[in-house]
């Protein structure tokens, strides 16, 4: 088990993991797409922020139907990002700074251009005939069952060479691997070893609850009408309970396979993305023979900025396995940015600071997406600028995920805020220009300076890093919890409303944002203000 080494907690438990979406981080060759050279040029920035590790979204060769999440070669670097040699230099640079590197792994499915699929589709009797999920048509020629794609429509596409349907959980260009095939399992585990041998410290597993499907191809049951959702920001209609095309009990077996590989490499770490209820996370993570940890979409898809939102996550997860160490994240490359979701469609710097302080005082490994430390709001893109397949299909009813994937703004007064000397693959939003790194470096009250200070607080405080968490009742709209570790206690109070609130409070203020006053045992919290107290 990797959770304790030499009597010390595993490194990842106290880590701040900074997620980089490489296409949009920094471009050095003027093609408008971020690259490994650009990433390496900004490592001083990442280190100064206080991150312990980088989570790098896919950099493997890909036709980019889903922008890297359709992999055509698991064991190389896409030329638009660089080379394997440059990747090796990145690993060396990071390790020289004491930073870890986590790679995104998309193991559930491949691109339809992957050599495995290209061989599998040729016939029903080749060496890779069962590496993907193929099925016969029904007698009337229709699809094998009622499974729906996460991007809309049937999850099956007909292939004329095989004269069969193949299953794709997402786009038709993303065929699903067959994890019931032992050769497939061995091949993808060897992919993990390939990167671990090159110095990678761990992996984030994309759609980790979707590795294993029901071999009987049982129809999914419908969702009750009151639970159905139709088009929203990045989703096709949700009409079914996905219990046979994903979320199967056999999926647990795949997590154990991954863990066995990770345990071959001391200090390595694997966490998964699970589109399930938080209470089901312990099925896949948190035990010595499962993934180390994981996260769900509880915070990521929530538009409810209420104390109950935060309390429910920990009560659901920790009620099942009290010792489970969760990941905590409010934003990533798939969801609307935090200040826009929780700011009622807008966003401001005080709200950004409040959200960051909550993130950095909750229990768990922190996953922070690029640009959150700048307080960037969601970009509102024109139809002609949309690249994401979801937005392309459903605009304007669902604009997709491009709004959180726009380029990082680095410099003042330069075209595209210094991201590229060419035309960026997505436009630089006007609203991001004034929030550039250079502008915020000059302003000691900026979100960036606040983030660095809040990260430093967490890393220097054992109670905030390792402590148990206990929620308290508070005035309407006020989130209160206590972190406790080896006799040290920290009380965290956050006003989630736009109006001042008075809260009983005792102790020493360690860190604050927008606090009005503390007198006679009462703390006045201004709108969107938070405080961390020693008690």
CA dist list (Å): 358 to 305, 431, 529 = 12, 24, 11
Where do the DSSP E strands lie in 331-392?
365-369
Answer for the pair 42, 51: CB distance below 8 angstroms, yes or no: no
Answer for the pair 25, 84: CB distance below 8 angstroms, yes or no: no
The whole-angstrom distance between residue 484's C-alpha and the CA centroid of its chain comes to 27
Answer for the pair 513, 450: CB distance below 8 angstroms, yes or no: yes
Whether residue 443 lies in the annotated active site: no
What phi, psi does 525 have (nearest 5°)? Answer: -100, 120
Local structure of residue 378 (DSSP, 8 states): P
Whether residue 227 lies in the annotated active site: no
Which residues have C-beta within 8 Å of that of residue 511, sequence separation ≥ 6? 357, 453, 454, 457, 531, 532
CA distance 181 to 160: 23
Which residues have C-beta within 8 Å of that of residue 315, sequence separation ≥ 6? 471
For CA atoms 278, 281, 282, 286, give the dihedral sign: negative
Answer for the pair 411, 374: CB distance below 8 angstroms, yes or no: no
Q: Integer distance in angstroms from the first to the last C-alpha of the chain?
A: 35
Q: Which of 264, 289, 380, 443 is catalytic?
A: 264
Q: Which of 35, 104, 206, 334 is catalytic?
A: 206
Instruction: Give alpha helix (H) positions in 70-148.
Output: 84-96, 115-120
CA distance 270 to 264: 12
CA distance 416 to 370: 17
Radius of gyration of the chain (CA): 23
Element (H, E) at 352: helix 349-359
Q: Which two tokens stand for residue 57?
A: 């979204």
Q: Which residues are catalytic?
A: 206, 264
């Amino acid at each position: 088990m990797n959770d304790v080494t030499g009597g010390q907690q595993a490194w990842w438990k106290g880590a701040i993991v900074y997620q980089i979406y490489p296409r949009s981080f920094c471009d050095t060759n003027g093609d408008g797409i971020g690259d490994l050279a650009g990433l390496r040029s900004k490592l001083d920035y990442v280190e100064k922020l206080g991150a312990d590790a980088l989570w790098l979204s896919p950099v493997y060769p890909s036709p980019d139907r889903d922008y890297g999440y359709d992999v055509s070669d698991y064991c190389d670097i896409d030329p638009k990002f660089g080379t394997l040699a440059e990747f090796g230099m990145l690993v060396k640079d990071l390790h020289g700074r004491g930073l870890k590197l986590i790679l995104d792994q998309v193991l559930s499915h491949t691109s339809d251009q992957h050599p495995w699929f290209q061989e599998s589709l040729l016939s029903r009797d080749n060496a890779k005939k069962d590496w993907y999920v193929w099925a016969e048509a029904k007698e009337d020629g229709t699809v094998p069952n009622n499974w729906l794609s996460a991007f809309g429509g049937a999850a099956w596409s007909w292939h004329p060479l095989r004269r069969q349907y193949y299953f794709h959980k997402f786009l038709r260009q993303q065929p699903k691997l067959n994890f019931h095939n032992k050769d497939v399992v061995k091949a993808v585990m060897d992919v993990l070893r390939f990167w671990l041998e090159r110095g990678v410290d761990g992996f984030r597993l994309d759609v980790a609850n979707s590795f294993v499907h029901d071999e009987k191809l049982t129809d999914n049951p419908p969702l009750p009408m009151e639970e159905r959702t139709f088009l929203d920001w990045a989703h096709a209609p949700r009409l079914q309970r996905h219990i046979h095309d994903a979320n199967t009990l056999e999926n647990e077996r795949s997590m154990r396979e991954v863990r066995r590989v990770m345990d071959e490499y001391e200090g390595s770490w694997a966490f998964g993305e699970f589109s399930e209820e938080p209470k089901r996370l312990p099925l896949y993570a948190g035990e010595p023979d499962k993934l180390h940890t994981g996260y769900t979409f509880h915070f990521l898809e929530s538009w409810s900025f209420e104390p109950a939102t935060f309390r429910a996550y920990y009560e659901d997860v920790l009620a099942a396995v009290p010792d489970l160490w969760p990941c905590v994240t409010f934003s990533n490359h798939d969801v609307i940015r935090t200040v826009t979701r929780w700011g009622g469609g807008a966003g401001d710097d005080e709200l950004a600071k409040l959200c960051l302080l909550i993130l950095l005082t909750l229990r768990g490994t922190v996953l922070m997406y690029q640009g959150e430390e700048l307080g960037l709001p969601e970009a509102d893109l024109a139809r002609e600028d949309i690249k994401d397949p979801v937005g392309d299909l459903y605009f304007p009813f669902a604009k997709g995920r491009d709004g959180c994937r726009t380029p990082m703004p680095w410099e003042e007064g330069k075209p595209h805020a210094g991201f590229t000397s060419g035309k960026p693959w997505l436009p630089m939003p006007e609203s991001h220009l004034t929030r550039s790194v250079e502008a915020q470096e000059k302003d000691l009250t900026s979100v960036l300076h606040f983030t660095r200070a809040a990260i430093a607080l967490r890393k220097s405080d054992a109670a905030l890093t390792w402590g148990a968490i206990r929620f308290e009742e508070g005035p309407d709209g006020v989130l209160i919890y206590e972190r406790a570790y080896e006799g040290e206690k920290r009380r965290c109070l956050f006003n989630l409303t736009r109006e001042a609130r008075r809260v009983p409070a005792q102790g020493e203020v360690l860190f604050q944002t927008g606090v009005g006053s503390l007198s006679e045992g009462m703390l006045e919290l201004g709108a969107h203000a938070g405080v961390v107290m020693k008690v």
